[in-house]
Amino acid sequence: MILVRHGQSEFNVVYSQTRVDPGIPDPRLTEEGHRQARLAAERLAAERLAGRDLTLILSSPYTRALQTAQILADALDLPIAIEPMVREHCRFHCDVGSLRSELALAWPALDFGTLPERWWHGALDETEEELARRSRHFREHMAGRENWDRIAVVTHWGFIRSLTGTQVTNGELLSFDPVQGSASPLGT
């Protein structure tokens, strides 16, 4: 599968400069974030031309991930499925999501059917152990899924770090084999 970190968000801009949580719940992409998502779409299109035929985008329900996934889906003509297991490690205000009903209004073409109304972690204190358990569960789920190698997953820094041990920047892509547990930068 290909893991895609969402494009730069309003939170990322402030936090990267100050290292202080600016208190922005469920932030949107910045213009730079939109540009990063378009570049990620170009890289995924190149993978398709090289024979890696993607068939699905799984996306975290956070707005920044959904916006990134929509850009990818529009460019590649792929469906998007919502996957709350790949949400961010809940530690900052940006990790407070939008209610399912709000997301369904914002993205009426997407199916939020089984997503609970309040789907993110209960407080801003998700432990590393909880995150590791969630990422292990996702890995096991995907390893047992047919055609996992044809899926792009739009997710977050903390989740990718927990799943792969790799830290990635906004818009970066990483190949991940859930059977072997191995990760590498896309194209290597």
Q: What is the pLDDT of residue 145?
A: 94
d(CA 37, CA 61): 16
Q: What is the pLDDT of residue 52?
A: 83
d(CA 34, CA 162): 25
The domain of 98 spans 2-185
Q: What is the pLDDT of residue 17?
A: 94
Altogether, the residues listed in the chain come to a count of: 188
Q: What is the pLDDT of residue 109?
A: 96
Which residues, other chains included, contact 18 with Cβ-Cβ below 8 Å and sequence gap of 6+?
none
Give 9's strand partners: 29
Q: What is the pLDDT of residue 80?
A: 98
Which residues, other chains included, contact 133 with Cβ-Cβ below 8 Å and sequence gap of 6+?
none
Task: List average pLDDT for each run of 10 residues in the chain, which is 188 residues long.
Answer: 98 94 96 98 89 93 98 97 95 94 97 94 84 97 95 97 96 96 82
d(CA 153, CA 144): 16
Q: What is the pLDDT of residue 187?
A: 60
Q: How many other C-beta atoms are found inside a 10 Å radius of the C-beta of residue 29?
A: 26
What CATH number does the domain containing 47 carry? 3.40.50.1240
**Which residue in 153, 166, 28, 168 sits closest to 98, CA to CA?**
28
Give the CA radius of gyration of the chain: 15
d(CA 93, CA 46): 35
When divided into structural domains, the chain yields a total of 1
In this prediction the pTM is: 0.96
